[in-house]
Structure 1
Amino acid sequence: MGKMRKAAATAAGSGKQRFQFQGGIQFYKSRGQHILKNPLVVQSIVQKAGLKSTDIVLEIGPGTGNLTVKLLEVAKKVIAVELDPRMVLELQRRVQGTPQANHLQIIQGDVLKTELPYFDVCVANIPYQISSPLTFKLLSHRPLFRAAVIMFQKEFAMRLVAKPADPLYCRLSVNTQLLARVDHLLKVGKNNFRPPPKVDSSVVRIEPRNPLPPVSFKEWDGLVRLCFNRKNKTLGSIFRQKNVVQLVERNRKAVMAVAQEQGGGGDITMLGENSRSKEEEEEEETGMEVEEDGDNENEDGMDVDDDGSKCQTKEMLLEILEKGKYLDKRSSKLTQDDFLTLLASFNKAGVHFSS
Structure 2
Amino acid sequence: MPKALKSATEKFSRTHQPAAKSSNSNSSGTSNPLFNTDRFGQHILKNPLVAQAIVDKAALRPTDKVFEIGPGTGNLTARILEKAKSCQVIEMDPRMAAELSKRFQGKPEQRRLEIVIGDFVKAELPYFDVLISNCPYSISSHIVFRTLSHRPICRVAILMFQREFALRLCARPGSDMWCRLSVNAQLYSKIDHIMKVSKGNFRPPPQVESSVVRIVPLDPPPPIKFEEFDGLTRILFTRRNKTCRSNFTASGVYDMLESNRKAWLAEKNEMIDDSVNIKERVEKILVQSGFAESRAAKMDVDDFLKLLSAFHDDNIHFG
TM-score normalized by the length of structure 1: 0.78
> Residue 204 of structure 1 aligns with which residue?
213
Question: 3-state SS of the aligned residue for 2:261?
Answer: helix
Question: After the TM superposition, which residues 1-355 of structure 1 pair with which residues of structure 2 at under 5 Å, given as runs?
Answer: 21-22=27-28, 24-31=32-39, 32-241=41-250, 243-260=252-269, 309=275, 312-354=277-319
Q: Structure 1, residues 295-317: CA drift from partner, whole Å, max 9, x if none?
A: xxxxxxxxxxxxx947x322221
Aligned residues: 289
Q: Structure 1, residues 92-125: CA drift from partner, whole Å, max 9, x if none?
A: 1111111111111111111112111111001011
Greater mean alpha carbon deviation, residues 108-117 or residues 331-340: 108-117
Offset, 1:38: 1.2
Distance 1:182 1:250 in 2: 35
Q: Structure 1, residues 28-79: CA drift from partner, whole Å, max 9, x if none?
A: 1434332222111011001101100110110111111111111111111011
Identity of aligned residues (%): 52
Distance 1:151 1:121 in 2: 14
Distance 1:169 1:256 in 2: 34
Does the aligned pair in 1 maintain the 2:161–2:211 contact within 8 Å?
A: yes
TM-score normalized by the length of structure 2: 0.86
The runs of 5 or more residues in structure 2 that have no matched partner are 1-25
Q: Runs (4+) of structure 1 moved beyond 2 Å?
A: 20-26, 29-35, 239-243
Distance 2:97 2:251 in 1: 54
Letter in 2 for 1:190: K
Question: 3-state SS of the aligned residue for 1:185?
Answer: strand
Letter in 1 for 2:69: I
Question: 3-state SS of the aligned residue for 1:26?
Answer: helix
Offset, 1:229: 1.2
The runs of 5 or more residues in structure 1 that have no matched partner are 1-19, 265-307
Does the aligned pair in 1 maintain the 2:35–2:204 contact within 8 Å?
A: no
Distance 1:240 1:328 in 2: 13
Question: 3-state SS of the aligned residue for 2:294?
Answer: coil
Distance 1:97 1:236 in 2: 65
Instruction: Evaluate the alpha carbon distance shift between residue 46 and residue 187 of structure 1 in structure 2; reply closer, same or farther with a 3 A threshold.
Output: same
Letter in 1 for 2:142: P
